[in-house]
Amino acid sequence: MKSHHHQLLFMFLVFFAQKIELLTAETFTGTYGINYGRIADNIPSPDEVATLLRAAKIKNVRIYDADHSVLKAFSGTGLQLVVGLPNGFVKEMSANASHAMAWVKENVQAFLPKTSVCGIAVGNEILGGGDYELWEALLGAVKNIYNAVDKLGLADVVQITTAHSQAVFDNSYPPSSCIFRENVAQFMKPLLEFFSQIGSPFCLNAYPFLAYMSDPENIDINYALFQKTKGIYDMKTDLHYDNMLDAQIDATYAALEDAGFKKMEVIVTETGWASLGDANEAAATVGNARTFNYNLRKRLAKKKGTPLRPKMVVKAYIFAIFNENLKSGPTSERNFGLFKPDGSISYDIGFHGLSSAESSLLSLKVRDSLYTNTQGHSKGNILGFELFIFLIKIIRLF
């Protein structure tokens, strides 16, 4: 009998050791992340990008697809990756649960746990966009992708989200007056209900750059750039805002509260400032881009909330790593990168270019090796080890 108990406990311990790292995965580490757009033919390889990001100590990364060359390059790096299900797949995934399962198996499960895929973004800026069939298909796609992840035992590892633009809102000024647009709300509320059930945040793409460009006569550019300014005052909440991004986030919280989802967290999945633009995009300069991104980085490093949600620490993914020369639209669309195509910095906000990154990675590898040998792979593993010891003590009771 004693031997049988020992065998059962040993089997449990082996199973536990295999699962502990997955069970303790984090979706977002710290407050700073970055978007890795690749609509370009002149940017560094995924392996070089992984080197660049590790040297810059940027751990949270979003891509807009599930490109296998990126997933392979990020293997073993510790970078936490949110992959994207492109808008072109949303209708198919909504209509066919087996296709959703196949997609998750091929593009997520196959790369875990070596590549830390911590999220799937189902579509991008669908609600408020021009394709109303996509509006109708979004919730079904989200549910089918989530159900596939859940059936594969990955629901505690891989978070399901979708990102929204400012086009889903009405009356965003002052922040407390913000609500969801009437035609959007009928699709948004069921989506939010499902996200609240599975613990997903509201993902917001917020660009003070675009807001300022739309109304430069009435918006102080210093307010958009986190510079000293008189800011705005919201009479309803008796709150003062000294920068536009905080106001945009709190407008989102106001809309969520109005819709009945007061406790849902808002994460900024895109924000940034263009360093070059067309003649009618005068605010798109290197100086303004540097000021915005430098001040944003400082603001995120403070790990504080917003005036309306002071305890809800702001987290943001910056757009983007590189300028993307093949993107369509105005010149600004191709010039949001913190880095140039050759891997050098576009402007200085404290990061180093690729050549510096490659040399510093050697010291990173040495440090990581020493840390792994003495401390284990992660906090999750340390926790797992402590629980392992606890279970060994239980064995001794038999």
Using CA atoms, how far apart are residues 273 and 337, in angstroms rounded to an integer? Answer: 9
Catalytic residue, chosen from 270, 281, 324, 333, is 270
Instruction: Please name which of 167, 200, 184, 168 lies closest in space to residue 267, comparing C-alpha atoms.
Output: 200
**316-319/32-35 β-pairing:** parallel
Contact residues for 395 (Cβ-Cβ < 8 A; gap 6+): 5, 6, 9
Contact residues for 353 (Cβ-Cβ < 8 A; gap 6+): 339, 343, 344, 345
Using CA atoms, how far apart are residues 243 and 226, in angstroms rounded to an integer? Answer: 5
Which two three-digit tokens encode residue 163?
Answer: 């990102």
Using CA atoms, how far apart are residues 342 and 296, in angstroms rounded to an integer? Answer: 24
Q: What are phi and psi of 283, to 5 degrees?
A: -75, -10
Using CA atoms, how far apart are residues 226 and 237, in angstroms rounded to an integer? Answer: 21
Catalytic residue, chosen from 125, 133, 217, 257, is 125
Contact residues for 228 (Cβ-Cβ < 8 A; gap 6+): 222
Which two three-digit tokens encode residue 24?
Answer: 């303790």
Which two three-digit tokens encode residue 84?
Answer: 């994207």
Q: Are 270 and 163 in contact (CB under 8 A)?
A: yes
Look up 125 and say whether it is catalytic: yes
Q: Exposed/middle/buried for 233, CB within 10 Å: 0-12, 13-18, 19+?
A: exposed
Contact residues for 30 (Cβ-Cβ < 8 A; gap 6+): 59, 60, 303, 315
Question: What are the catalytic residues?
Answer: 125, 270
